[in-house]
A and B are shown apart, each in its own frame.
Chain A
Amino acid sequence: MEKENPLISASGHPGQLQGVRSRFLTPWIWVGGGLIIMAVLSAAIGPVAIPPNVIFKILLSRLPFATIEVDWPSTFNTILYQIRLPHTALIALTGMALGASGAAYQGLFRNPLADPYIIGVASGAGLAAVLTMSIQWPSTTLGLITIPAAAFTGALITVGIVYLFARVGRTTPITTLILAGVAVSTFTSALTSLIMLLSTDELYRAIAWLMGGSALGGWPPVLAALPYLFVGLAVLLFLGRPLNVLQFGDEQALQLGLNVERYKLVIVAASSLVAATAVSFSGIIGFIGLVVPHLVRLLWGPDYRRLIPLATIVGGIVLLASDIVARTILAPRELPVGIVTAVIGAPFFLWLLRRAKQVRFW
C-alpha cells in the first residue's frame, strides 16, 4: 500500500498543497514588509529628517562588535532614540491594539460595524483614564501603571452596559448596537469634558491626548503598555477558532459543544484590555478598529485565525501612516492623529452602513 503524505491527504488532492501554502504565506510577507517600511518612514520623517539608510546605520552601530563609521550628526542619535523611536513604537502598538480589538469585537457581536470607538468602549476607557489622571495629573510612574488598569475597568463597564441595551433577544442588531454605543459614549464624553473643565491645569494636554494626540512621549509609556498588550493580544491571537464557531450564532456554537458564555467573557475581557491600553497611552483614536478588520476580511477572508493577527499588523501599518499624515500635512504644526483617522474613517463607516443594508457580510 502506498504511504500517504499526511499533509497532502489532509488538503484533499496533491495539487492543493501549493495553493494552501501560498494562501497562508503571502499576506504575512505583505503586512510584515508594510509594517517595517512604515515604521522606518515614521522614524525618518519629522522637523529634522533622518534618511532611512542612516536610521539603519544608527541601529546597527548599537550592536556589539559592529564597526560602522559614524558619518551623521550626533544629534540624530538623540532624536532617533529619545523622540522618534518611542513615538513610532507607541503609535505602532496603539494601531495594533485597535486593529485586533476591532476584529475581536466584530466577531463577538457578529456585527460588521462594531469597533471600540463606535460601541463606546473607547470613551468609557477615556472617562476612567481622565478620572485617574485628575487625581494624579501630571503622569507619574504610578500613574502610568494605574491609568491602564482604570481604563480597562471603564472599558469593561461600558461594554457591559452597551451590550445589555443593544441586545434584542438572542442577537445584537446593527442599529441597536450603534444607538447604544452613541448614547453611552455621548454620556461618558460629557462627563470627561466636565472633569477636564473642573481641573484647570494642563487642560490643553488632556484635550490633545483625548483627541488621539499621543501627548505622552519617551519610552516609559511604551514599556508600561507592553505587558497589557502582550497579555491581551496573546489571548486574542489564540481564540480565532472559537471566534469562527461563534459566527454561526450562540445556539449553533453551543450545540457544537462550545462553552459560549465562558469564551465570550474571555474574548470581551481580552479585547477590552487591549483597547483600554491603547486609549490610556494614545487617547481616543476612532475608526482604526472598524476599517482595518474590514480591509483584512476583504483581502484575505473571514477566518479569525488569520483575521486577528493580520488585523493586528495592518492596524499598526494604518495608524503609522495616519500619524505621518498628521505630523506633515500642516507642518510645522502637528495634528492629533485621531483627526486624521476620523476624516478617513467616517466616510468609510457611512459607506459600510450603506453596504450593510444591501448584502449580508457574514
Chain B
Amino acid sequence: MIARLRFDNTTIGYGQKPVLHSISLAVLPGEVLGIVGPNGVGKSTLIKAASGILPPIEGRIFINNNDISRLSPSERARDLAVVPQARQLPEAFTTRDVVLMGRTPYLGWFAGESEVDHRIADEVMSKTAIAHLADRQVGELSGGEQQRVLIARALAQTPSVLLLDEPTAHLDLKHQDEVLKLVRELALKEDFAVVITLHDLNLVARFSDRVALLSNGRVRDVGDPAQVLTPDELGEVYGVEIHVSSHPIHGTPLVLS
C-alpha cells in the first residue's frame, strides 16, 4: 500500500536552523497518526512542513508518492488539507462562504464557484453536521462549531491527507469528543490519512491508530499507543513522574502525572 504522506529522512526548521532532524514517518490510508511531545518540540513545525508552507532543509516529503516541493500550491491543496485552530477565523463570513473557500485549489484566477462547488460544500456541511449553520456568521458560532466549519472547509478540498494542528485546543470536553470522533470516522470512511497534533495524551491514546513521540528534535518512538505511551518513555520526555493505567471504558492507555 502506498503511503498517503511520507517524510523521507527530512530535516525541518526555520532558515537554516533545524527544529526537527531526520524525520522518517509514513501515514497509510485510513490511519490516524497522533503527534505528541513537549511544548516547542516542533509539532506545529511538522504540520507546516507537511502542508508545504515550510520547505524542508534536507530530505523530502511525499504526498501519494509526489514530492511536495514539485507541486504548485493548488496541486498540493487538492491532495492535502490543513485544519487550523479555530480562533483565527474572520468573523463576518458565513459558514457557507468559509466552506466554499475549500474549493480555492480548483478555481482559476478570475473564476467563481460553480454549481459543483456548491454541491460539494453542501455535502461536506452535512457530513460535519453544520448544514443548519450555513447562513450564520462564523463569529457567532461556538468553538466546537467553528472547528467543524474548518473541518468542512478542509473536506471541501476533497483531499486524501488531512492535517490537524491542536484541533481541540479551545474546546470543552464534549466538543473535544465530538470533533475527534468525527475525524476518526472520516479517516475510516473516506480512507484519509490523518495527522493530528494534540496536547492531551489521553485523547491521543483514544483516537489515534499510531502515535509518534517527538523529543529533542527527533522522533523518539512510533507505534501503537499502548507501546509508545509508557511511564518510562513519557517520564523521560516530559520530565515528570507519569503513571499509566487503562481507561475504564475504552481500554486505551490512561496517562496520569
- With A12-B122, A251-B53, A362-B90 known as contacts, the answer to whether A258 contacts B84 (CB < 8 A) is no
Q: Tell whether, in the assembled complex, residue A303 and residue B101 are in contact, meaning their CB atoms are under 8 Å apart.
A: no
A297 and B90 CA atoms in complex are apart in Å by 13
**Residues 221-249 of A at the B interface (beta carbon under 8 Å):** 238-239, 241-242, 244-245, 247-249
A239 and B110 CA atoms in complex are apart in Å by 7
Q: Is B213 on the interface with A (CB-CB < 8 A)?
A: no
Our pick among A245, A255, A259, A362 for the contact of B53 (Cβ within 8 Å) is A255
Q: Is A173 on the interface with B (CB-CB < 8 A)?
A: no
Residue of B nearest to A235 (CB): B110
Q: Is A36 on the interface with B (CB-CB < 8 A)?
A: no
Chain A residue contacts of B119, Cβ below 8 A: 9-10
Our pick among B82, B91, B104 for the contact of A245 (Cβ within 8 Å) is B104
Residue of A12, A244, A256 contacting most chain B CB atoms (<10 Å): A256
Chain A interface: which of B73-81, B195-203, B223-231?
A: B73-81
- With A255-B53, A256-B77, A258-B73 known as contacts, the answer to whether A12 contacts B92 (CB < 8 A) is no
Q: Tell whether, in the assembled complex, residue A303 and residue B107 are in contact, meaning their CB atoms are under 8 Å apart.
A: no
Chain A residue contacts of B81, Cβ below 8 A: 255
A254 and B89 CA atoms in complex are apart in Å by 15
Q: Is A257 on the interface with B (CB-CB < 8 A)?
A: yes
A239 and B109 CA atoms in complex are apart in Å by 8
Within the complex, the shortest CB–CB distance from A205 to chain B, in Å, comes to 41
Chain A residue contacts of B105, Cβ below 8 A: 256-257
Chain A residue contacts of B73, Cβ below 8 A: 254, 257-260
Chain B residue contacts of A301, Cβ below 8 A: 92
- With A12-B131, A258-B104 known as contacts, the answer to whether A360 contacts B91 (CB < 8 A) is yes
**Residues 89-115 of B at the A interface (beta carbon under 8 Å):** 89-93, 96-97, 101-102, 104-105, 107, 109-113, 115
Our pick among B77, B88, B115, B122 for the contact of A249 (Cβ within 8 Å) is B88
Residue of A nearest to B132 (CB): A12
A12 and B135 CA atoms in complex are apart in Å by 9
Q: Is B118 on the interface with A (CB-CB < 8 A)?
A: yes
Q: Tell whether, in the assembled complex, residue B134 and residue A12 are in contact, meaning their CB atoms are under 8 Å apart.
A: yes
Q: Tell whether, in the assembled complex, residue A302 and residue B92 are in contact, meaning their CB atoms are under 8 Å apart.
A: yes
Q: Is A61 on the interface with B (CB-CB < 8 A)?
A: no
Q: Is A332 on the interface with B (CB-CB < 8 A)?
A: no
Q: Is B51 on the interface with A (CB-CB < 8 A)?
A: yes
Q: Is A252 on the interface with B (CB-CB < 8 A)?
A: yes
A115 and B123 CA atoms in complex are apart in Å by 40
Chain B residue contacts of A253, Cβ below 8 A: 104
Q: Tell whether, in the assembled complex, residue B110 and residue A254 are in contact, meaning their CB atoms are under 8 Å apart.
A: no
Q: Is B16 on the interface with A (CB-CB < 8 A)?
A: no
Residue of B nearest to A240 (CB): B112
Size class of the contact patch on chain A: 20 to 34
A238 and B112 CA atoms in complex are apart in Å by 9
Q: Is B72 on the interface with A (CB-CB < 8 A)?
A: yes
Q: Is A16 on the interface with B (CB-CB < 8 A)?
A: yes
Q: Tell whether, in the assembled complex, residue A256 and residue B122 are in contact, meaning their CB atoms are under 8 Å apart.
A: no
Our pick among A16, A248, A305 for the contact of B135 (Cβ within 8 Å) is A16
A6 and B135 CA atoms in complex are apart in Å by 18
Our pick among A238, A239, A303 for the contact of B93 (Cβ within 8 Å) is A303
> What 1/0 mask marks residues of chain A from 1 to 25 whose CB sits below 8 Å from any chain B CB?
0000010011010001000000000
Q: Is B157 on the interface with A (CB-CB < 8 A)?
A: yes
Our pick among B52, B78, B134 for the contact of A254 (Cβ within 8 Å) is B52
Q: Tell whether, in the assembled complex, residue A256 and residue B102 are in contact, meaning their CB atoms are under 8 Å apart.
A: yes
> What 1/0 mask marks residues of chain B from 123 to 160 whose CB sits below 8 Å from any chain A CB?
00000000100110000000000000000010001000
Residue of B53, B75, B112, B134 contacting most chain A CB atoms (<10 Å): B53
Q: Tell whether, in the assembled complex, residue B101 and residue A255 are in contact, meaning their CB atoms are under 8 Å apart.
A: no
Residue of A16, A297, A301 contacting most chain B CB atoms (<10 Å): A301
A305 and B91 CA atoms in complex are apart in Å by 17
Q: Tell whether, in the assembled complex, residue A257 and residue B78 are in contact, meaning their CB atoms are under 8 Å apart.
A: yes
Chain A residue contacts of B77, Cβ below 8 A: 255-257
Residue of A10, A238, A255 contacting most chain B CB atoms (<10 Å): A255
Residue of B nearest to A301 (CB): B92
Q: Tell whether, in the assembled complex, residue A255 and residue B82 are in contact, meaning their CB atoms are under 8 Å apart.
A: yes
Chain B residue contacts of A248, Cβ below 8 A: 88-90, 101
Chain A residue contacts of B82, Cβ below 8 A: 252, 255
A360 and B92 CA atoms in complex are apart in Å by 10
A253 and B88 CA atoms in complex are apart in Å by 12
> What 1/0 mask marks residues of chain A from 302 to 328 whose CB sits below 8 Å from any chain B CB?
110100000000000000000000000
A242 and B109 CA atoms in complex are apart in Å by 8
Chain B residue contacts of A360, Cβ below 8 A: 91
A260 and B153 CA atoms in complex are apart in Å by 18
- With A9-B122, A10-B118, A257-B104 known as contacts, the answer to whether A241 contacts B91 (CB < 8 A) is no
Chain B residue contacts of A257, Cβ below 8 A: 73-78, 104-105, 157
Within the complex, the shortest CB–CB distance from B163 to chain A, in Å, comes to 9
A238 and B110 CA atoms in complex are apart in Å by 6
Q: Tell whether, in the assembled complex, residue A10 and residue B72 are in contact, meaning their CB atoms are under 8 Å apart.
A: no
Residue of A nearest to B117 (CB): A10
Chain B residue contacts of A303, Cβ below 8 A: 93, 97
Within the complex, the shortest CB–CB distance from B53 to chain A, in Å, comes to 5
> Can you name 6 A-B residue pairings with CB atoms under 8 Å?
A10-B122, A16-B135, A251-B84, A257-B157, A302-B92, A362-B90
Smallest CB-CB A-B distances: 7 pairs: A257-B77, A257-B105, A257-B74, A10-B118, A362-B90, A238-B110, A302-B92
Q: A10-B115, A302-B92 are in contact. List 13 more A-B contacts (CB 8 A).
A: A12-B134, A12-B135, A241-B111, A245-B101, A248-B90, A249-B88, A253-B104, A254-B52, A258-B73, A302-B93, A303-B97, A360-B91, A362-B91
